[in-house]
Amino acid sequence: MDTPATLDEIREAALARLPVPARDFLEGGAGAETTLRRNRRAFQRWAFVPRVMNGLPAPTTATRFLGVDLALPVLTAPFGADGLFHPDGQIAVARANAAAGTASIVPEAGTHPLEKVATAVPGSAAFGQIHPLGTDDGFLDMVRRYEDAGYRGLCVTCDVPIGGWRERNLRNRYLPDYALFGGNYATIEQALGQLGQLLAPEAPVWSWHKLATLLARSALPWIAKGIMTVDDAHAAVGAGASALLVSNHGGRQLDDQRASLDALPEIRAAVGPDVPIALDSGVRRGTDVVKAIALGADVVVIGRLAAYGLAAGGEDGVVRVLELLRTEISTTLTLLGCGGLTDLNRDALVRVDAD
């Protein structure tokens, strides 16, 4: 891959390499993809308010999230079926994060075993993602594996009791290779036994009480992913969550809900300044990262952007995504008149009509 100059070039290269079913699996959302579009429009409704001639030094993009030092306020998302985009999948993503000074959230439904990802780059595979599905023993076994492999926290995906209604996949008659999702299991049957509810739910949705009871057996801090309301934010913190991930799953789960960015300010106001908050869904460039932090996030989580990089150029492609994000974030902070991420707040933005 020639070194791309922009994130759009990386996306174009990725989509050119993928067959139509894989491309639609990556690009698509749920239903009519209304939420997918809203996620992008939400960022466009905020414009920057710069402060010039401020005499500040070059800004820093460094931050810290749940005890993990980051060179930029970006984590990579726990997107599964990662081997669909490159044979090295999340191993390449973790190596890219190590090179860029940031960290991965490693998926339960990934192509490679979580231990193999952690061993490839100790420390970069910082968080392990897990679904509150299946049997209690199966859930706790996955928690213990993350603990034993040295992960520093968990990311619990709370908004996927069943897979979303993905019409692009249905139109393509797309049948995923379950081996791409089953790297953490000895057999496909074992994977389906624990995660089969994603395909056809046969068990009740878990409760906050059940999740809290099981996670109380682990010392790892955990992030509640899929929080879109103040009530759920309070419930997650009450259940023991150390951090929140404001997310509508990139528009891939429940269609026709509001954008994650629109939910962020009220959730930040509700839980106060001391609860770490991440945001995903709709992030496509460095200015989006800056807007999210100004509205209350501590970090953002990138899924499609990381997958574009992976598909375009493997580890090097993801490294380039992170390099471009960091440069654009730094440039934006400088032009805004901010010395660093901690200087960002709501005063840096004004609401406008979407362009």
Q: The tokens of 115 are what?
A: 């231990």
pLDDT at 1 over 70: no
pLDDT at 350 over 90: yes
Is 78 marked as binding a ligand?
A: yes
pLDDT at 192 over 80: no
- Residue tagged 């009220």 (tokens): 266
Q: Where are the beta strands (DSSP E) in 193-298?
A: 222-227, 243-246, 277-279
pLDDT at 354 over 70: no
Cβ 249 vs Cβ 183: under 8 Å: no
The rounded distance, in Å, linking the Cα atoms of 246 and 98 is 25
Give me the CATH code for the 7-341 domain, please: 3.20.20.70
Q: What is the pLDDT of residues 70-127, one digit of tens each?
A: 999 999 999 999 999 999 999 999 999 999 999 999 999 999 999 999 999 888 999 9
Q: What is the pLDDT of residues 2-15, one digit of tens each?
A: 799 999 999 999 99
**Backbone φ, ψ for residue 153 (5° rounding):** -175, 170
Question: Helix or strand or coil: residue 262?
Answer: helix
Q: Where are the beta strands (DSSP E) in 24-161?
A: 46-48, 63-65, 68-70, 74-76, 103-106, 125-130, 153-157
Q: In whole angstroms, what separates CA 195 from the centre of its chain?
A: 20
Model pTM above 0.85: yes
Q: What is the pLDDT of residues 120-154, one digit of tens each?
A: 988 899 999 999 998 999 999 999 999 999 999 99
Q: Please give the single-letter amino acid code of residue 204.
A: P
- Percent of the chain having pLDDT more than 70? 99
pLDDT at 336 over 90: yes
Q: pLDDT-derived band of residue 189, with 50, 70 and 90 as boundaries?
A: confident
Q: Please give the single-letter amino acid code of residue 272.
A: G
Is 284 marked as binding a ligand?
A: yes
pLDDT of residue 175: 80
234 is catalytic: no
Is 157 marked as binding a ligand?
A: yes
Q: pLDDT-derived band of residue 355, with 50, 70 and 90 as boundaries?
A: low
Is 48 marked as binding a ligand?
A: no
The rounded distance, in Å, linking the Cα atoms of 250 and 265 is 18
**Catalytic pick among 86, 112, 131, 249:** 249
The rounded distance, in Å, linking the Cα atoms of 268 and 278 is 10
The residues spanned by each domain of the chain are 7-341
Mean pLDDT of 203-224: 95
